Structure 1
């Protein structure tokens, strides 16, 4: 793939992840289970692609809760996804700043 192409791919995945996480914000999603289900499903392969397995696992939990229409659990796992996602993206950006 080459270093340049790999960097471009990782940057695009990070942008896509940031977009998905922003779309999952309760202000945007309105806790609409179908919308959240689709966006959280999109997070999983993106996170796995760049080795963010913890983020992928939390997104899977969001998918499960949205699929069951468990409002309280969905709100809690969605909040956790936001925290883990924000932390993961910040860690990656901080790491690339050091490189």
Structure 2
């Protein structure tokens, strides 16, 4: 009998309409600046939140996950925002197994979401 390592892969949802709103309201240059800043912030939070989890700083996980959810929502990363809200909700709770699973999922979804935005190429229009 062997052990099978599972590699969960999920699709991520991007709200292209939200990105279109940013480009309409701010123009290409302004929207690019907002999007680039958001991606930098998300990348930073996607490092900090799991590190805080591993260090047992659950109050910081909650704050970081809330910030992550807000930024992800702003740029149309629907799946990432939802998973970050789940992590924030579990951060100060008592379900350690669920919390660990959601933080791991946050890392996977976060990486895939950043790649999905970069892979979009040209701004939505």
Fold shared, TM-score > 0.5 on shorter chain: yes
Which of 5, 12, 15 pairs up with 2:40? 15
User: SS of the residue aligned with 1:45?
Assistant: helix
Structure 2 partner of 1:6:
31
4+ residue segments displaced more than 3 Å? none
Structure with greater helix percent = 1
Q: Which runs of 5+ in 1 are unaligned?
A: none
Structure 1 partner of 2:60:
35
Q: TM-score, normalised by structure 1?
A: 0.89
Q: Does 1:78 align with 2:78?
A: no
Q: Does 1:49 align with 2:74?
A: yes
Structure 2 partner of 1:24:
49
| CA apart distance, 1:36 | 0.5
| CA apart distance, 1:31 | 3.4
| Higher Cα radius of gyration | 2
Q: Which has the higher contact order (CA 8 A, sep 6+)?
A: 2
| CA apart distance, 1:35 | 1.2
**C-alpha separation in 1, matches of 2:112 and 2:119:** 10
Q: TM-score, normalised by structure 2?
A: 0.71
Number of residue-to-residue matches in the alignment:
95
Q: Which runs of 5+ in 2 are unaligned?
A: 1-25
